[in-house]
Amino acid sequence: MHQAAIELIGINKSFGAVHANRDINLEVRRGTVHGIIGENGAGKSTLMSILYGFYQADSGEIRVNGEPTAIRTSNDAIAAGIGMVHQHFMLVENFSVLENVILGAEGAPLLKTSIAKARSELRRLESEYGLEVDPDAIVEELPVGLQQRVEILKALYRGAEILILDEPTGVLTPAEADHLFRILGQLKEQGKTVVLITHKLREIMAITDTVSVMRQGTMVATRRTTETTVEELAELMVGRRVLLRVVKDAAEAGAVKLSVKNLSVKDQRGVTMVDDVSFDLRAGEIVGIAGVAGNGQSELLETIAGSRHAASGTVILDGMPVDLTGAADPGELRRRGLAHVPEDRHHVGLVLAFEENQNAILGYHRQRRYLKGPLLNIEAILADAKDRIEKYDIRPADCRLKTANFSGGNQQKIVLAREMEQDPDVLIVGQPTRGVDVGAIEFIHKRLIAMRDAGKAVLLVSVELDEIRSLSDRILVMFDGRIVGERGSDASEGELGLLMAGVEQREAAE
Amino acid sequence: MSAPYAKLPAWADYGLIPLVNLVVAFIVAGLVVLLVGENPFRAAVILVEGAFGRGQGIAYTLYYATTFIFTGLSVAVAVHCGLFNIGTEGQAYIGGLGVAIVCLAFDSLLPWWLTFPLAILGAAAMGALWALIPAWLQARRGSHIVITTIMFNFIAASIMVYLLVGPLKPLASQAPQTRLFLDGGQLPKLNWLIELFGGKVRAAPFNVSFLLALFMAWLMWVLIWRTRLGYEMRTYGFSPKAARYAGISETRIIIVTMMISGALAGMMALNPTMGDQHNVAIDFVNGAGFVGIAVALMGRSHPLGIVLAAVLFGMLYQGGAELSFEMPNISRDMIVIIQGLVILFAGALEHMFRPSIQTLFATLSPKSAGLAVNGEGA
């Protein structure tokens, strides 16, 4: 049998003027885990979409098991034995696991037969690969780690021999990620081939056999994982040397700027999302809140920013309480020196349909400098926008461009520039580098440190443990709405990982 | 996952696509004309000539266009704030009540140029008030504005029928309408404007409210793109979450926007009442509110686009009337079908040809297509 499970030869794909994939050659060997890394927009997703039949290559050839194969739709890909686990799950949330697995592969007009077949098949997959999931559970009631398992089962049920995973660990705890890696290892042992798309270098080092690096639409290098280093891969990705570790001095914490006391928040269904949380944030320090997504960090952030109703507790900003009825005026909080970089820049922090300069005043559009009577002072707005584009190296440097047309990293810089340039006393930041490329991450981290060194209080919420560890002076870990531990910046990853997974302190020490 | 897409140049976005939609609408309409046994090309000539061929036709076309500019602006203002105001019809109808009150009270006392501003205020205020209730229900109670405004159209119609067969009707009259307005309640015609350019107008209801409509179109442009309020409306329209984050009050912005929308709808009443019939009669709105939805859609909610789309619909109304007169097989209902096709293709199916035109642009001239890459995910 042919050694290569997939060969891509001379793949080209352009979208208008952008050459998303340029003469890509890639060989994925059977029975290996092959990592593909690259910054946002490097062309990883485009390449995999071509392989999975979402896009057609302009030129080039795809060979599966040595056979030239035309893949025009995802059905062709499935027929060729290629399965894909998407970054955003393609599951029907209110269907059961079984119903999701047979979706699109029902086979017969009556569901009974295919469900029975799927049930026995799932049992086999379960024992073979350690993919335990209750087949009758409703998907939306499963934790994300299990939902992902359903996606993998879907692909295997369709007979996938080659499995593509797109950023699979973004939503997982370290423990869940480890479990996923064990599953991938088992799949590999059974002779399946795994293609792993990620931007996390650590994962690449941990589980891949081979790694290919993409940059600006080209495949710049393929290495055996054992023969490369994290530093080399980072440099290949960005094209220059990257500081992976932020350099910073010890914090000089000053007066308490933000004080949260016994804060509890319930969501619309009445479920407690934030449970009796207390902490202080001082001038000149960065406090990081670590935790797996969905453990109350978002709600905590929104409540402090005044846009969520608190069930009980107080938040004191600079000696004055914040209105926690959920009807606080964010404008007033801004005037009191609170700047907020929201987690969801696409829907909250920015209006993507606006020109860049219109976003540069969002939330500050009532300031006198941006107004001439009831009219907007367009010249002042444009001047400020241009100034910030220069200061924060936002690219392209065009303040009339629609915000949607900026890359994720530059969009985030737009938000950060807006909030930081107001010279706030307290900056609360949610997921500052989500979907941001390595080069911009470096810049954003430096800026946050600079804010701290200028005596500002920074509250950082991130699901990226590396980010929390490298930026924070103090780390609070949230699990299930509660703060389950506080550690210094020297806390080990394992220690924090256990806290994030809800393992109690005493157990963790054992 | 990045989803790259080709962005069209502005002229294609605002010019080519509406044109293609329009051409397709007329082709399908032509087939319908063929089906009833008339020559579609002759029908097209009659339609266009009827609307623009003579001064008389132009005056009528612009008279209809005036009405549609108001209703189109009304719908578009709400669209910018993410609200779909289907209640323009009812708000315009109630706006007529404002006109009636002002004119009946002052037409014997004041000259038209004093009654007119009062009537504008009256019509706008009544329209705004009629929009206020659904707006309040939406903002404070979450009742969907599409449902409530539709309901309010029916309520408006019932109220107006009651008033026009009762309190507003002169005692001896049998027609469900107010008495005729005196000179102080009649707007001067603008027909001289067309005669200035050599057109001949026998008698047409084209009047000064056309100028008010154009002024309002300009004012709307200023409001949406040049004022803080417009900025907040657009922010809320694109992303309610971003608006909340920016400290924009949801309640306030919904209510203010809907009242502006209702006021513009109410002003529509000036044209057929003070401008033409010189009374307020039953059913004087006659579907213009719904045409406003099509006008706003076709004009891409931009004031200039709305003025152009309104003239197009004015042409269909005026040319259509000529057509049903000239061609015995084409009845009034056929005209409604043709108008419906234009609404269907230019409004409801506005995006039908967009993907193929985008693809065409991307392949023909990748540079001019100004490619844009969506910034989401990796």
Is 60 exceeded by the pLDDT of residue A90?
yes
Does B231 sit within 8 Å of A351, measured CB to CB? no
- Predicted pLDDT at A161: 92
The per-residue pLDDT for A497 is 78
Q: What is the pLDDT of residue B7?
A: 62
Residues comprising chain B, all counted: 378
Please check the confidence at residue B3 and state whether its pLDDT lies above 60. no
Question: What's the rounded mean pLDDT across residues B362-366?
Answer: 65
Q: Percentage of chain A with pLDDT > 90?
A: 38
List, for residues B47-74, the tens digit of each pLDDT value.
Answer: 899 999 888 899 999 999 999 999 999 9
- The CATH number of the structural domain formed by B35-357 is 1.10.3470
A211: phi then psi, degrees, rounded to nearest 5? -135, 135
| pLDDT tier, A427 (very low <50, low <70, confident <90, very high otherwise) | very high
> What is the reported pLDDT for A508?
43
Instruction: Place B89 in a pLDDT band, splitting at 50, 70 and 90.
Output: very high
- Residues of chain A with pLDDT > 70: what percent? 95
Residue B88 to residue B74: CA distance in whole angstroms: 7
Mean pLDDT of A181-209: 88
Whether the per-residue pLDDT at B378 is higher than 50: the answer is no
CATH number for the region A4-238 comes to 3.40.50.300
pLDDT at residue B134 greater than cutoff 60:
yes
Q: Do A351 and B235 touch (CB under 8 A)?
A: yes
Q: What per-residue confidence (pLDDT) applies to A510?
A: 44
Indicate the residue of A351, A363, A374 with minimum beta-carbon distance to B238: A351
Give residue A509's pLDDT.
Answer: 45
Cβ pair B4:A20 closer than 8 A: yes
> d(Cα A447, Cα A100) in Å, to the nearest integer?
45
Q: CB of B293 within 8 A of CB of B348?
A: no
Most trustworthy range by pLDDT among A75-84, A232-241, B223-232: B223-232
Helix or strand holding residue A452 (H, E): helix A438-453
Of B1, B5, B228, the CB nearest to A374: B228
Residues of B with CB under 8 A from a CB of A: 1-2, 4-7, 222, 226-229, 231-232, 234-235, 238-239, 241-242, 244-247, 362, 366-367, 369-378
- The model carries a pTM of 0.79
Q: Which of A15, A39, A55, A334 to mutate to test the interface with B (most CBs of B within 10 A)?
A: A15
Highest mean pLDDT among A112-126, A147-161, B54-68, B333-347: B54-68
Contacts of A86 in chain B (CB under 8 A): 1
Give B293's contacts (C-beta < 8 A, 6+ positions apart).
Answer: B75, B86, B88, B347
More reliable by pLDDT, B149 or A169: B149
The ranges assigned to domains in chain B are: 35-357
**Contact state of A371 with B228 under an 8 Å Cβ cutoff:** yes
Query: d(Cα A315, Cα B62) in Å, to the nearest integer?
Result: 61
Closest residue in A to B360 (Cα–Cα): A16
**Cβ atoms A407, A443 nearer than 8 A:** no
Are A281 and A481 contacting, i.e. CB atoms less than 8 angstroms apart? no
Instruction: For chains A and B, count residue pairs whose Cβ atoms are closer than 8 Å.
Output: 135
A463-472, B214-223, B241-250 — most confident range: B214-223
Query: Which of A351, A364, A376, A434 to mutate to probe the B interface, most B CBs <10 Å?
Result: A351
B6, B246, B369: residue with CB nearest A330: B246
HEC profile for A245-257?
Answer: CCCCCCCCCCCEE
The CATH label, of 3.30.160.20, 3.40.50.300, 3.40.190.10, 3.20.20.140, for the domain at A256-348+423-509 is 3.40.50.300
What's the pLDDT tens digit per position in B221-246?
A: 999 999 999 999 999 999 999 999 99
DSSP3 helix / strand / coil % (chain B, rounded to 5): 70, 0, 25
Residue B292 C-alpha from the chain's centroid:
3
User: How far is CA A133 from its chain centroid?
Assistant: 25
Can you tell me whether residue A235 is helix, strand or coil?
helix
Q: Which residue of B has its CA nearest to A403?
A: B375
pLDDT-derived band of residue A33, with 50, 70 and 90 as boundaries? very high
Tokens of B215: 């002024």
Question: Which segment, A3-7, A68-72, B305-309, is predicted with the most confidence on average?
Answer: B305-309
Q: Is the pLDDT of residue B370 over 60?
A: no
Which residues from chain B sit within 8 angstroms of residue A418, using beta carbons? none
pLDDT number for residue B177:
92
Q: Span B364-371, mean pLDDT?
A: 49
Chain B residues within an 8 Å CB radius of A340: 245
pLDDT at B375 over 50: no
Query: pLDDT-based confidence at A317, cuts 50/70/90?
Result: very high
Q: Which residues of B touch A167 (CB under 8 A)?
A: 377-378
Q: CA nearest B361 in A: which residue?
A: A16
Per-residue pLDDT at A108 exceeds 90 = no
For residue B227, what is the nearest residue in chain A, using CA coordinates? Answer: A375
Collect all residues of chain B within an 8 Å Cβ-Cβ radius of residue A334.
247
What pLDDT score was predicted for residue A241?
63
At position A80, the amino acid (one-letter code) is: A
Nearest CA in chain B to A302: B245
Go through chain A and tell me how many residues it has: 510
Contact yes or no for A408 and B375 at CB 8 A: yes
For residue A10, is pLDDT > 50?
yes
Q: Packing angle between helix B17-35 and helix B40-48, nearest 10 degrees?
A: 120
Question: Which chain A positions have a beta carbon within 8 Å of B81's beta carbon?
Answer: none
User: What residues contact residue A253 under an 8 Å CB cut-off, 6+ apart?
Assistant: A282, A283, A284, A285, A473
- A360 in Cβ contact with A418 (< 8 Å): yes
What residues of chain B lie within 8 A of the CB of A371, using their CB?
A: 228
Question: Do the bridges between strand A312-317 and strand A320-321 make them parallel or antiparallel, or are there none, so unpaired?
Answer: antiparallel
Task: Looking at the complex, report in whole angstroms how far the Cα of residue B165 sits from the nearest Cα belonging to chain A.
Answer: 44
User: What is the chain A residue with the closest CA to B367?
Assistant: A17
Once rounded to an integer, what is the mean pLDDT over residues A174-202? 86
Amino acid at A74: S
Phi, psi of A354 (to 5 degrees): -80, 155
Hey, CA dihedral for A29, A35, A38, A40, is it positive or negative?
positive
Q: Report the pLDDT value the prediction gives residue B347, as an integer from 0 to 100.
A: 67
Alpha-carbon torsion angle A408, A411, A413, A419, nearest 10: -140
Across A128-134, average pLDDT:
83
If 0-12 CB within 10 Å is exposed, 13-18 middle and 19+ buried, where does residue B76 land? buried
For position A1, what pLDDT does the model report?
54
Dihedral sign for Cα atoms in the order A474, A477, A481, A482: negative
Q: Indicate yes or no: CB of A167 within 8 angstroms of CB of B244.
A: no
Helices (H), A190-223: 201-207
Average pLDDT, chain A: 87
**B242·A410 Cβ contact <8 A:** no
pLDDT of residue A292: 77
CB B16 within 8 A of CB B376: no
Over residues B155-182, the pLDDT tens digits come to: 999 999 999 998 999 888 888 999 999 9
All residues of chain B having their beta carbon less than 8 Å from the beta carbon of residue A331 are: 246-247
Whole-number Å distance between alpha carbons of B42 and B323: 10
Which residue from A354, A365, A408 is facing B228, i.e. has the nearest CB? Answer: A365
pLDDT in tens, A499-510: 887 765 544 444
Q: Compute the nearest-CA separation of A504 from chain B (Å).
A: 34
Out of A16, A87, A347, name the one closest to residue B242 (CB): A347
Q: What is the mean pLDDT of chain B?
A: 88
> Would you call A402 and B366 a contact, using CB atoms and an 8 Å cutoff?
no
Structure tokens at A71: 């893949």
Runs of H (alpha helix) within chain B: 10-11, 17-35, 40-48, 55-80, 88-106, 112-141, 145-165, 191-196, 209-226, 228-238, 240-245, 250-267, 270-272, 288-298, 303-326, 332-342, 354-364
Interface contact flag, A363 B247, Cβ < 8 Å: yes
Distance to chain B for A488, nearest Cα, Å: 32
Reported confidence tier of residue B2, pLDDT bands at 50, 70, 90: very low
Q: Is the CB of A15 less than 8 angstroms away from the CB of B6?
A: yes
% of residues, chain B, pLDDT over 90 = 61
pLDDT band at A460 (very low <50, low <70, confident <90, very high): very high
- The mean pLDDT value for A407-411 works out to 83
Within a 10 A sphere around the Cβ of A224, how many other Cβ atoms?
10
Partner-chain residue, chosen from A351, A358, A365, that has the shortest CB–CB distance to B239: A351
**Amino acid in the structure at residue A8:** L
pLDDT at B371 over 50: no
With beta carbons under 8 A apart, name residues in chain B contacting A87: 1, 377-378
CB neighbourhood size of A494 (10 A): 10
| Residue A112 φ/ψ, nearest 5 degrees | -55, -50
Query: Hey, are the CB atoms on A18 and B246 less than 8 Å from each other?
Result: no
- Domain ranges across chain A: 4-238, 256-348+423-509
Tokens of B195: 């005669």
Tell me the mean pLDDT in the region B85-103. Answer: 96
**What's the ipTM?**
0.81
Q: Residues A428, A457: contact at Cβ < 8 Å? A: no
To 5 degrees, how large is the angle CA B52–CA B58–CA B61?
Answer: 100
Q: Which of B80, B222, B231 to mutate to test the interface with A (most CBs of A within 10 A)?
A: B231
Nearest CB neighbour to A87, from listed B222, B370, B377: B377
Please give the residue that has the higher pLDDT: either A218 or B6: A218
pLDDT at A238: 73
Q: What average pLDDT does the segment B302-327 reach?
A: 91
Which pLDDT does position A243 carry in this prediction?
A: 58
Whole-angstrom distance, CA of residue B246 vs CA of residue B164: 47
Q: What's the rounded mean pLDDT across residues B97-107? A: 95
